[in-house]
Amino acid sequence: MKLKFIFTIVFFYSFLEVNLSFAETNKILFKINNQIITSLDILEEANYLTALNSELKNAEKNTIYEISKKSLIRHKIKELEIIDKLSNYELDDNTLNNLLLNQFKKLGIKSFPELEEFFRIKKINKKHALNRIKIQILWNEFIFAKYSTRVKINKQNIINELENKKNLNEYLLSEILFNLDANEDLNEKFNLIQDTILKKGFSEAALIFSISNTSDNGGDLGWIKETSLNKKIREQIENLEIGKNTKPIIIPGGYLVIKINNKRTIKVDFDLDNEIKQISKKITNEQLNQFSTIYFNKIKKDVEVNEY
């Protein structure tokens, strides 16, 4: 079955109008295969994403709805797949709680009591947040088991590049990874993304359009050394001004738009063996993320999403 997105936003408007509380008007909105999604699920996802991305709270209501809907669908599809493939795999509560705390450390939250208070103020359902973390970890485990043997790293190239450099560039990057649906035109899609970037900022555009896991954080990739970037991406950004973004870069699984938030030069005074391990790890993650996107695009074609 083809993936079908036929939705209305009337229910979402109704609960946003009443202080984001709609216990009395909870409605079934749509169904993903046999899994029901309600307006309460959308609200919980909206609260979670808005807490992680302060820019989102100023977005229009229909934008928040669409972002939350897209995010829920993506995670539900992954959940359905790993329930089938990893039925006996579990994560202990302590591990999940630590991962959840780490997710919010960038907001200055350092302890579990602080996290609990933050969730209370932001009206975040902890069970919902823990489930999102769990699904993503199990999905990553599944992708690693399926594709890790297909990861290719040329360590000699890494060594050669490190040995010949006295300084390295580091980039603070954000990304939007997108693909094209049937009958979509690349130029038209990119123009829409670029227009959203100009009007609403890169972070909100990532939340709206990106299919990468980083979309939850507005596409934030953090600081990345030039030696960890593949040649195609490095060539696109090495002369790019801070604050600017690339045109779409074709990669396995879709099209990538990269923004440079900052740039710095560091001296090569690190332990070579350790640096090789760190770069190899980043390259491994990049390739596994690409395999993840390809696999997700494949399975979502067999998922049916219907409005109620």
Q: pLDDT tens digits for the chain (308 residues)?
A: 344 433 333 334 333 433 344 344 778 888 888 888 898 999 999 999 988 887 787 788 888 888 998 899 999 999 989 887 776 667 788 888 998 899 888 888 999 999 999 999 999 999 999 999 989 989 999 999 999 999 999 888 888 888 777 788 899 999 999 999 888 899 999 999 999 999 999 999 999 999 998 888 889 999 998 888 888 899 999 889 999 999 999 998 899 999 999 999 988 777 788 888 888 998 999 999 999 999 998 998 888 888 77
pTM: 0.80
Sole residue written with tokens 């990269």: 258
Q: CATH number of the domain at 10-148, please?
A: 1.10.4030.10
CATH fold label, 167-270? Chitinase A; domain 3 (3.10.50)
- Whole-angstrom Cα distance, residue 57 to residue 241? 28
- Whole-angstrom Cα distance, residue 271 to residue 56? 40
Chain region(s) in the chain for CATH 3.10.50.40: 167-270
Chain region(s) in the chain for CATH 1.10.4030.10: 10-148
Angle of helix 202-209 relative to helix 186-200, nearest 10 degrees, comes to 140
